[in-house]
Amino acid sequence: MRYLVFGLSLIVFSAWAIARVIADINFDQGCGGYLKRAADANIIPVAISQLSIAVKYAEDHELTNGYTSVFYRTPDEDLNFWFFNLDSALINLKQVNPNASERGR
């Protein structure tokens, strides 16, 4: 009986771990990678296009509010704050003149 419980626990834990790895890869491919590319962009139109993809992913996957934790809530896990910052950054980028100089003249 002990081995059966251990075996079932091992199977459940392995399935959970595999699901988490897959979810992490999907997030990196659908959102995280585009956030990195937006941050690394040298011109505004590229930053806008990459950030738009990340914001759309967050909206499509309902990552706009709630928390990332299961048992407790801390400010660094607040999805609403994270999404609001991303969406605000996208709005601000769209308002910048693409021909604006990096140095104020």
* Residue pLDDT, tens place only, 32-84: 999 999 999 998 999 999 999 999 999 999 999 999 888 889 998 999 999 99
User: For residue 41, what pLDDT is reported?
Assistant: 94
Residue 98 has pLDDT above 70, yes or no: no
Q: Are 90 and 58 in contact (CB under 8 A)?
A: no
pLDDT at 97: 81
Neighbours of 31 (CB within 10 A): 20
52 Cβ contact partners less than 8 Å away, ≥ 6 residues apart: 90
Read off the pTM: 0.80
* C-alpha closest to that of 52 among 67, 42, 37: 37
Where in the chain are the domains? 30-95
CA-angle at 101, arms to 96 and 105, nearest 5°: 115
pLDDT reading at 105 higher than 60: no
